[in-house]
Copies of this chain bind each other. A is one copy, B any other.
């Protein structure tokens, strides 16, 4: 747990992270699912892990997987259909210009929904990362938008024991992804009650969003369902440790999570390429605890008062105080 929230991590946090230059990975971490899971046990307070369909779960191993997690007392907090790791998805999944590929993507999501239901996992993360374009004159924006919507509608009611969430991202693996912001996600899901949104903090940062504003917006539409935590330098999804860069933004995030009454999962989606995954996960958790504690130190009402008067000078004084520094009174 972190404050009142469940604490999760993507399983590959404890594996060997690769990038396009070092395809064999920077080393460290476990190789098998069981090894990664055992490393995860070393992280205090970890409640659950995310898995990827096919990659981690399939028809043959599903009972083994269920037992593996049950034995270790960990939940499977998310099962993600693999719509991006194979060449067949290279030009899109739910919004592929090829109708057969679109159908394949819908089938994949449905299959994973059923696996999730069987594993007692409440969420399925639809990340349409390959649905987008790289070049001008490469995408039919109007049709693609319809296809995305149709695909989600087709999946939405398939299994009422799991909720589909859409995860938005500005770019990567495409230079432009279609579903790239909180507002665009809400627009896409207008009237589609059964589908929610997964807010990845790093994706929001890279999309130029203020993360607290994204939280407030999604919550006001009833679609703040799940959070991915990580940090970056805003120009790319660096998937760094929490606490690496955006301390003020994370502090404001903690305030807004409390204010909108979020009580769901806080799940790490980091790529500790050159770091030990267990140590990195521990650091992330301690930072999140620190942010919530810092808000408590000042109190919700003190921040709310500064916000009501849009007083930036008072706001920054409170941030400093929240971080444990003595502050002279601001008033003159």
By a beta-carbon cutoff of 8 Å, the part of chain A in contact with chain B is 18-27, 42, 84-87, 89-92, 97, 129, 133-142, 145, 170-173, 175-176, 180-181, 183-184, 186-187, 190, 207-208, 210, 212-213, 216-217, 219-220, 232-236, 238, 240-241, 243-245, 247-249, 251-252, 255-256, 260, 271, 273-276, 278-280, 282-283, 286-287, 290, 293-294, 303, 306-313, 315-320, 323-325, 327-328, 330, 332
Kindly report which residue of chain B lies nearest to residue A239, judged by CB atoms.
Answer: B20
- Asked whether A136 lies within 8 Å of B241 as measured between CB atoms, the reply is no
Kindly report which residue of chain B lies nearest to residue A137, judged by CB atoms.
Answer: B315
- Asked whether A313 lies within 8 Å of B241 as measured between CB atoms, the reply is yes
Residue among A92, A170, A207, A287 with the highest chain B CB neighbour number at 10 A? A287
Q: How far is the CB of A172 from chain B (nearest CB, A)?
A: 8
Bound Cα distance A323, B154 (Å): 42
**What are 29 sample pairs from A and B whose C-beta atoms fall under 8 A apart?**
A20-B20, A22-B87, A27-B90, A134-B274, A135-B312, A135-B316, A136-B248, A136-B249, A137-B316, A138-B311, A139-B213, A140-B307, A141-B213, A141-B256, A142-B220, A145-B220, A171-B236, A176-B213, A180-B208, A190-B190, A207-B208, A234-B234, A241-B312, A243-B320, A244-B316, A280-B313, A283-B313, A283-B316, A323-B323
Q: How far is the CB of A139 from chain B (nearest CB, A)?
A: 7
Are A332 and B278 CB-contacts (below 8 A) given A129-B21, A140-B308, A181-B181?
yes
Q: How far is the CB of A315 from chain B (nearest CB, A)?
A: 4
Q: How far is the CB of A216 from chain B (nearest CB, A)?
A: 4
- Asked whether A240 lies within 8 Å of B187 as measured between CB atoms, the reply is no
Q: How far is the CB of A142 from chain B (nearest CB, A)?
A: 5
Q: How far is the CB of A6 from chain B (nearest CB, A)?
A: 20
- Asked whether B87 lies within 8 Å of A24 as measured between CB atoms, the reply is yes
- Asked whether A21 lies within 8 Å of B278 as measured between CB atoms, the reply is no
Residue A251 contacts which of B23, B26, B136, B313 (CB distance < 8 angstroms)? B136
Residue among A42, A92, A282, A307 with the highest chain B CB neighbour number at 10 A? A307
Residue A319 contacts which of B136, B176, B309 (CB distance < 8 angstroms)? B136
User: Which A-B residue pairs are the 8 nearest by beta carbons?
Assistant: A324-B324, A141-B216, A183-B184, A137-B315, A27-B87, A135-B312, A290-B325, A183-B183
User: Which chain B residues border A318 with CB–CB below 8 Å?
Assistant: 137
Bound Cα distance A139, B87 (Å): 37
Bound Cα distance A137, B19 (Å): 23
Bound Cα distance A181, B293 (Å): 34
- Asked whether B316 lies within 8 Å of A86 as measured between CB atoms, the reply is no
- Asked whether B249 lies within 8 Å of A134 as measured between CB atoms, the reply is no
- Asked whether A312 lies within 8 Å of B18 as measured between CB atoms, the reply is no
- Asked whether A244 lies within 8 Å of B135 as measured between CB atoms, the reply is yes
Are A313 and B275 CB-contacts (below 8 A) given A26-B90, A136-B252?
yes
- Asked whether B286 lies within 8 Å of A328 as measured between CB atoms, the reply is yes
Bound Cα distance A190, B191 (Å): 11
Kindly report which residue of chain B lies nearest to residue A250, judged by CB atoms.
Answer: B136
- Asked whether B316 lies within 8 Å of A287 as measured between CB atoms, the reply is yes
